[in-house]
Structure 1
Amino acid sequence: MSGVDYQKQAQDYYGKAPLIILGSGASAAHGMSGMWALANHLVANTDISGLNATEIEVWEKFCQLLKDKVDLESALHQVAVSDTLTARIIESTWTLINSEDSKIFQDSLQNNALFPLSRLLEHMFKSSLKMINIVTTNYDRLAEYACDQGRFHHYTGFTHGFFRQLATPTEITSARRVNIWKVHGSLDWFQSPLDDTVALSNIQGVPENYEPQIVTPGTQKYHKTHLEPFRSIINNADLAIKEAGSYLCIGYGFNDEHIQPKLMVKCLRQKTPITIITYALSESAKKLILDGKAQNYLAIERGETDDQSTVYSSLSDAPFTVEKNIWSLEGYLSLIM
C-alpha cells in the first residue's frame, strides 16, 4: 500500500471545479456498445443494396479488415468509402446506438438512481457554481438524461423543445446550466432538407429526407467537423477546456484529435490537474499522461476484480493497488463526497 493520500488528491482536484470529459467507457458502464460491438453490427446490418461494384468491393475489404481484428477507426481510414456508403454506415450506426439509448432512457424511468452522473452534478452545484461543462465524444444522450433526472437544465447548442434549432450559448439562460459539448454529434441531430442542422427530441426513426448528424470514425470525420454545427461546438469545447481549473475524465480513452491537443497543452504547460477514472487505461492515456510530462494526475483503473483499483498518481513513483472500487464513477463519488 502506498503512503500517497490519493483521497485528498482526488478531493483537491475535484475542488477546482472540473470540466467533465465523457468517453465511450462512461456509456459502456450502462451497457452501450463499444467500438467492437459496433463493428460487428455494421458488418451484419449495413444496407448495401444498390451499391455499385466499386463500393461493394470497398465494403468487402472493410468487412475483412474488421474480421481481421483491425479496429473500426483504422479500418475506415484504410478504405476509400464513398459518400453513399458513408451514409449507409452512419444510418446503421445510428440504428444500433439509438435503440440502446432508448432502452436506457426507459430503464431510467423505472430507476431514478440509474445515473451516478446526476449525483456528481448535484454535488458540484452545491457550491457556488452556476455552469458545468461536459465535453463528450459520445452520440448517446445519457448525459442529457442524467441532467434531466437531477433537474438541471442542459444546453447542447440548440433551442429547447421538440423541433430544436441552433442557438448561441447566450440565447438560453437559466440560473444553473450544464453545457454538453458533443464534438462528434448526437443521435437527435439531423441535417434537414434545408441543409441546416436541427435537433428532434422524441423520434424513433430517421425522418424522410433527414440525415443523422453523427461523425463516424474515419476520414470523413475531418471534413465534417469543419462544418456547422460541429465547428461551433468544437470551438466552445475548446474554450471550456482552456478555462477549466481541472479535468475529470470518465471512461475516456484519449484517442480523439478534437479534444486531446488542447487538453494536453493545459496539463503539460500549465500543470492543470487531471483525474482519470476508467475500466482500463488505454495505451494512449498511459502514453500521454503517465509517460508524458503531466505534473498533476490521478489515474484509476479497475484491478483484478471489480472491487479492486489500480492507482497511478503524480505523487507516487509507482502504481499501487487499493482494495475497493474507486475506478467507476459510482466508486469515485465515494472519494469526494
Structure 2
Amino acid sequence: MSKTTAVNFSKQAQAHYAAGPVIILGSGASAAFGMPGMWELSQHLIKHVDITDAHSKDQEEWGRFCDLLNQEVDLETALHKVHLCEEITNAVVRATWDLLNPNDIEIFKKSIKNNDLFPLGTLLRSMFRSTRDVIDVITTNYDRLAEYACEQEGLHHFTGFTHGYRRILASEDHLRSQRQVNIWKVHGSLDWYKSPGRTVCGLPNMLDMPDDYEPMIVTPGAEKYRITHGEPFRTAISRSDQAIVEANSYLCIGFGFNDQHIQEKLIEGCMQHKKPVTVITYALTDSAKEFLFGQGVVNFLAIERGEHDNQSIIHSSLASDPLIVEENFWSVAGYLGLIL
C-alpha cells in the first residue's frame, strides 16, 4: 500500500468517525468474544428443545425444522419455512436463553479481571471527548456486552429500563447524566423478562431463569415481526429508527445487513441522504456486499479480515478495487488504531 493510499483511507475513516456515528452492532461483534453463533444455536435447539408434550402435527413441523437445519439451512431461513406453534416457539426462546446466558456471564467474569477486555468501551469513551453528550448504540444481539463495555469505562448506559436489581420500563431521561450511552436492543436482552403477572421487567445477570418468568428475546424468523409490535421492542425499534435518521454517519461492527428492523432507515440514510457508513467485520456477508456495492452507496468504507488476523481487505468508495494491507484494521481494536 502506498503512503498516499494509506493516508486517503485513514482520512476517510477519520472523517466518518468525526461526523459522530451511530453504532450498529451485529452478531459478529459478539462472536469475537466467543458468544455462540447461529450454527451453534441451531445445533443446541435440535438437541435440547423438548416436544414430547406437543400435538403430533406440531411435532411433525418441528421435525421439518430440524431436517432443514441438518441440511445446513440457516436458522432464520428455516424458521421462515416452518410454522412452529406457540408452545414450541416458547421452548425455542427458553433454549436460546439457556445457551447464551452462561456464555454472557462468563464474559462478564473475564471483564472483572481484565479492564481492557472491551475495545468498544474505549471507542465510546473516545467519542465523548467531543461535545457529544449522547451516543446511540443499536444492536440485534441479546447479550450484554455493550453494557459491560460501558461499565468498563464508567459510562452511564440506558437500555429502556430503570437501574437497580428489579428494573421497570422507563424513558431515557428518567435519570440525569452529563454523558449517556443509549443501547437500543431491538430483539431483546438476556435480562429482560415477562413476569407471571405479564409485566415486563429487567433482572440483571440471573444464573437461572426465575420460576414462571419468560425471556423477552425474539428469535429469528417470521414470528419476530409479530412479537416486536409489543413492548419493550416497539420503543427500542422506534428509538433506533430515530437514532439512524438523526445520525450524521454510521459505524457498523460485525453487522450482516440482514435485519429489516434496521435496514430500511439505514438504506434511506445512505442512499437518499448520502450519509457515510463504515463497516468493520470478520467477513462481509453477501447482504453487506449487496448493500454497499450493489445499491449505489456513494460514501462507504468497509474493512474485513484477510487471510490472517493481521491482514485486512479494505473496500472504499474512493477506490475501484479492494486493497489488501498487512495490518489489523477489521477488528474494533484495529479500527481504533486507524482513527485515533
TM class, shorter-chain normalised? over 0.9
1:159 corresponding residue in structure 2: 162
Does residue 311 (structure 1) correspond to residue 314 (structure 2)? The answer is yes
Q: Secondary structure at the match of 1:101?
A: helix
Does residue 135 (structure 1) correspond to residue 110 (structure 2)? The answer is no
Q: CA deviation at 1:46?
A: 1.6
1:240 corresponding residue in structure 2: 243
Q: CA deviation at 1:48?
A: 2.2
Q: Is the 8 A contact 1:191 1:198 kept in 2?
A: yes
Structure 2: 5+ residue stretches without partners = none
Letter of the 1:24 counterpart: S
Does residue 93 (structure 1) correspond to residue 96 (structure 2)? The answer is yes
Does residue 335 (structure 1) correspond to residue 338 (structure 2)? The answer is yes
1:292 corresponding residue in structure 2: 295
Letter of the 1:106 counterpart: K
Q: Secondary structure at the match of 2:279?
A: strand
The whole-number CA distance in structure 1 between the counterparts of 2:293 and 2:335 is 20
Q: Secondary structure at the match of 1:165?
A: coil
Does residue 222 (structure 1) correspond to residue 240 (structure 2)? The answer is no
Aligned residues between the structures: 337
Which structure 2 residues correspond to residues 181-330 of structure 1 after superposition, within 5 A? Answer: 181-330=184-333
Q: Is the 8 A contact 1:162 1:202 kept in 2?
A: no
1:46 corresponding residue in structure 2: 49
The whole-number CA distance in structure 2 between the counterparts of 1:316 and 1:272 is 18
The whole-number CA distance in structure 2 between the counterparts of 1:203 and 1:99 is 9
Q: CA deviation at 1:202?
A: 3.3
Match of 2:60 among 57, 60, 85: 57
The whole-number CA distance in structure 1 between the counterparts of 2:221 and 2:275 is 31
Does residue 32 (structure 1) correspond to residue 35 (structure 2)? The answer is yes
Structure 1: 5+ residue stretches without partners = none
Does residue 145 (structure 1) correspond to residue 119 (structure 2)? The answer is no
Letter of the 1:192 counterpart: S
Q: Is the 8 A contact 1:116 1:330 kept in 2?
A: yes
Does residue 180 (structure 1) correspond to residue 183 (structure 2)? The answer is yes
The whole-number CA distance in structure 2 between the counterparts of 1:111 and 1:335 is 23
The whole-number CA distance in structure 1 between the counterparts of 2:205 and 2:21 is 31
Q: Is the 8 A contact 2:105 2:205 kept in 1?
A: no
The whole-number CA distance in structure 2 between the counterparts of 1:242 and 1:289 is 18
The whole-number CA distance in structure 1 between the counterparts of 2:248 and 2:319 is 22
Q: For residues 93-132 of structure 1, what are the alpha-carbon distances to aligned partners after superposition, in whole Å with 9 as ceiling and x for unaligned?
A: 0011101101100111111111001110111111111111
The whole-number CA distance in structure 1 between the counterparts of 2:306 and 2:218 is 33
Q: Secondary structure at the match of 2:167?
A: strand
TM-score, length-normalised on structure 1?
0.98
Task: Give runs of ≥4 in structure 1 deviating > 3 Å.
Answer: 1-4
Does residue 171 (structure 1) correspond to residue 174 (structure 2)? The answer is yes
The whole-number CA distance in structure 2 between the counterparts of 1:229 and 1:303 is 39
Q: Secondary structure at the match of 1:133?
A: strand
